[in-house]
Amino acid sequence: MIDTFTGVLAFAFLGALLVVGTLLRARVAVLRRALMPASLIGGLLGFTLLALPLDLGFERADFTAIAFHCFTLSFMSLVLTGGPRDAGAGGVTLGGSWLAVVWVVSLVLQALLGLAIVLGYNTLGDNSLSAFLGLLVTHGFTQGPGQALALGNIWESELGVAGAVDFGLIYASVGFLAAFVVGVPVARRAVRLGLNANQAARLDAEFLQGYYDEKSRLVTGHHVTNSANLDTFAWHIGILGVAYLLTDQYIRALHPIAAQIPLGSANLGHIFSHNLFFIHGLIICLILRRLMDRFGVGRFIDDDTQRRITGSAVDFMVVATLASIQFGLLAKYFAPIAAVCVSVTIGTAVLCFGFGRLVQRLGVERALTSFGCCCGSTGTGLVLLRVLDPDLSTPVARELAFFNIAILFLGFHVLTLMAPVLPSFSLTTIVGVYGLTFVAGMAALVALSRRLNAAA
């Protein structure tokens, strides 16, 4: 039976890192002031431990699969959760559109910056890196570790871009760090200068230390099933299991057909593959939730419980991503990786905060939220927003609900049609499409900023 423990112990190790990260956040002042999440602290600790000459019994590859599947589960669980009823009400559509366009512009801007840095490094340095390793940075920063891993897998295993998985994991990890290293000081300065709309904003002890005191703990979730029959948590995990199985069969059925359809110099089969399981899982869960609501059984999903599953999957994904980083590769290519990450961080900050200054009302809130989303995830953007708006009384948090839907449509040509098989396109085609997207996005941002000011 000892052979069955490998995956379970790897998962247990990640859980232990999250516990230690939570304790360190509560006890170490610098971590509290930086609002560093436990998953990031634990992940950095795990990366350090695995880099030391210690025999912990784990390989970094043990955590790569966990990161991939936790990312997939977080997306699928998010779609199974009912959306806020007022997500499209009032003025949130306009603000959400602004956030979505910033994200799409960031998507192509980061890719172009990464490409330029790697091409420059190849010109000046001794080592030759694939130009696509520079383009990959946007899928680590703007899209996060799960998609960097998913696309990196396709690029490396099927399209011949060596090191794509490891580079993607590094970019994603640095993106989370950049979001907090840059975002938290900016947020604190905005509060100190009174630039935020919620003038009652303050960082209380519970927010800083990262856990609730006994008297102020929140009550969340409701029982759907009777525990004498089946625990509610097990029921929700079971629904995700059904969706996982359906997605697997859906991909197996469509992949042979899609593989016959050309896409660039590759084929559509790369998109209809298990490497992009999260996209197809999202579709299956969307259909499943709509059918459940249509036939009156949507009430058997407790949204609070589903959100806890989503949040837990994200936490495990982040800590697993950091633990998966190959120290040797990071050391070997530290110079180009650092140059790419610094340039992308600066470019993203200029984009988000520059256009935020054009918006008269809630400009700093939207700028900081978009910066968090473009360096880490929607959750990172929400954490930074809470520094300015602790009780989420402004509409920006609700705008994020519309944002999550809008980016799928606005970035469809890049996210779905090009990114999965990007190495099959010429650099000229990529620069042309990404460049036109950047120009169109910048024009749209100017127009949206004016509309937001007119509506204020």
Region of poorest pLDDT, from 16-20, 65-69, 110-114, 145-149: 145-149
pLDDT at position 264: 65
Band (21; pLDDT cuts 50, 70, 90): very high
Summarised one tens digit per residue, pLDDT across range 123-141 is 887 667 899 999 999 999 9
Place 90 in a pLDDT band, splitting at 50, 70 and 90.
very low
Q: Say what the pLDDT of residue 431 is.
A: 97
Q: What is the pLDDT of residue 265?
A: 64
Mean pLDDT (whole number) for 356-375: 93
pLDDT in tens, 59-77: 888 898 898 898 889 878 8
* pLDDT level of residue 351 (50, 70, 90 thresholds): very high
pLDDT at 350: 97
Predicted pLDDT of residue 89? 41
d(CA 149, CA 169) in angstroms, rounded, equals 6
Mean pLDDT, range 75-100, rounded to an integer: 73
Distance in angstroms (rounded) separating the CA atoms of residues 348 and 375: 8
Burial of 29 from C-beta contacts in 10 A (0-12 / 13-18 / 19+): exposed
pTM of the model: 0.83
- pLDDT, averaged across the chain: 87
How far is residue 363 from each of residues 119, 195, 294, 397, measured CA to CA in Å?
35, 9, 39, 13
CA distances from 309 to 153, 210, 335 (A): 25, 19, 38
Q: Which long-range contacts (CB under 8 A, 24 or more apart) does 261-266 make?
A: 263/417, 263/421, 263/424, 264/421, 264/424, 264/425, 265/424, 265/425, 266/158, 266/159, 266/421, 266/424
pLDDT digits (tens, 9 = 90+) for 228-258: 899 999 999 999 999 999 999 999 999 999 8
Q: How confident is the model at residue 84 (pLDDT cuts 50, 70, 90)?
A: very low
pLDDT average, residue stretch 104-121: 96
pLDDT at res. 126:
65
Question: Is 72 in contact with 381 (CB distance < 8 Å)?
Answer: no
Segment 23-49 mean pLDDT = 89
> Which tokens hold the place of 448?
């949206």
User: pLDDT digit string (tens) for 405-415?
Assistant: 788 889 999 98
Higher-pLDDT residue of 378, 29:
29
Query: Which pLDDT does position 242 carry in this prediction?
Result: 95
User: Of residues 269 and 12, which shows the higher confidence score?
Assistant: 12
What is the reported pLDDT for 133? Answer: 95
121, 335 in Cβ contact below 8 A?
yes
Does the structure show a pLDDT above 90 at 416?
no
What pLDDT does residue 327 have?
81
Percentage of the chain exceeding pLDDT 90 = 43
What's the pLDDT score for residue 53? Answer: 81
Q: Is the pLDDT of residue 379 over 70?
A: yes
Determine what percent of the chain is predicted with pLDDT higher than 70: 94
pLDDT, position 111: 97
Residue 439 pLDDT: 97
pLDDT value of residue 408: 82
Closest CA to 143 of 175, 109, 185, 112: 175
How confident is the model over 153-166, as pLDDT tens digits? 889 988 889 999 99
pLDDT of residue 91: 59
CB 104 within 8 A of CB 410: yes
Using the CB atoms, write b or e for 350-383: b if 16+ within 10 Å: ebbbebbebbeebbbbbbbbbbbbbbbbbbbbbb
Tens digits of residue pLDDT in 193-223: 888 887 766 667 776 777 777 777 767 778 8
